[in-house]
Chain A
Amino acid sequence: AQSVSQHNHHVILSEAASLELGCNYSYGGTVNLFWYVQYPGQHLQLLLKYFSGDPLVKGIKGFEAEFIKSKFSFNLRKPSVQWSDTAEYFCAVANTGFQKLVFGTGTRLLVSP
């Protein structure tokens, strides 16, 4: 069965600091990978996704993630965080061609101004 691990449950950063959130998945086949974000009081929304091709994918609001197949990882990065990035971030994996998403437990990010 697929599983997703997010090792950082809570992260606190100051504005302008760099961000990296870890995500590792367990699955033997070809996968599609996603990062979702939930801002306070808002719906869960897609931040970025990887299906194939360039393992470095760019998403909205300056976020990017790198797929490293050998490490089963899909870490999320942002060079300089803003207070508005305060949110909960979820990594998710799905079989290729099938939309069943398996989510990690999430990472709560607090950015202090």
Chain B
Amino acid sequence: EAGVAQSPRYKIIEKRQSVAFWCNPISGHATLYWYQQILGQGPKLLIQFQNNGVVDDSQLPKDRFSAERLKGVDSTLKIQPAKLEDSAVYLCASSIGTVSSYEQYFGPGTRLTVT
């Protein structure tokens, strides 16, 4: 079974530039998550989708971050404009559903460096 795919794996941009990350979840997984993991911290949920609808985006900095999941499959996360503090690993995860009993499967992450 193919895992969660993410691209790019690494990205370096200057502050105030924009960047986009892509995620392809495991086939059949209805729920998709984007996490931000800053160095030395645990992953923090940014946004959760159920199919193509948003379940939770309470921790998404909406003035600069946006995410979409068209057709309930792939998802993109965008930052515009980027700030130095956005340097982090952005993790995508997917699960069969939203209930806690369903395991979340994580992708390899995209490491973003903002200079």
Partners in one complex: yes
Find the B residue at minimum CB distance from A51: B101
Contact check, A103 vs B43: say whether CB atoms are below 8 A apart. Answer: yes
Contact check, A99 vs B98: say whether CB atoms are below 8 A apart. Answer: yes
Contact check, A44 vs B56: say whether CB atoms are below 8 A apart. Answer: no
- Cα(A102)–Cα(B43), bound, Å: 8
Contact check, A103 vs B95: say whether CB atoms are below 8 A apart. Answer: no
* Of the residues A32, A97, A101, A106, contact of B45 by C-beta under 8 Å: A101
Contact check, B107 vs A43: say whether CB atoms are below 8 A apart. Answer: yes
Find the B residue at minimum CB distance from A91: B42
Nearest CB of A to B10, in Å = 14
Residues of B within 8 A of A (CB): 3-4, 31, 33, 40-45, 48, 56, 91, 93, 95, 97-109
- Cα(A99)–Cα(B104), bound, Å: 9
Q: A105 near B: Cβ within 8 Å?
A: yes
Contact check, A44 vs B106: say whether CB atoms are below 8 A apart. Answer: yes
Q: How many residues of A contact B (CB 8 A)?
A: 23
Question: Which residues of the partner chain A approach B105 to less than 8 Å between Cβ atoms?
Answer: 43, 45
Question: Which residues of the partner chain A approach B100 to less than 8 Å between Cβ atoms?
Answer: 32, 51, 94-99
Nearest CB of A to B21, in Å = 16
Contact check, A46 vs B48: say whether CB atoms are below 8 A apart. Answer: no
- Cα(A51)–Cα(B48), bound, Å: 21
Chain A CB within 10 Å — which of B42, B97, B102, B104 has the most?
Answer: B42
Question: Which residues of the partner chain A approach B101 to less than 8 Å between Cβ atoms?
Answer: 32, 51
- Cα(A54)–Cα(B103), bound, Å: 19
Nearest CB of A to B55, in Å = 8
Question: Which residues of the partner chain B approach A21 to less than 8 Å between Cβ atoms?
Answer: none
Q: Contact flags (1/0) for A14-49 with B, using CB distance below 8 Å?
A: 000000000000000000100000000001111001
For the complex of A and B, 7 pairs with smallest distance between CB atoms: A103-B42, A44-B106, A32-B100, A94-B100, A43-B106, A99-B98, A103-B43
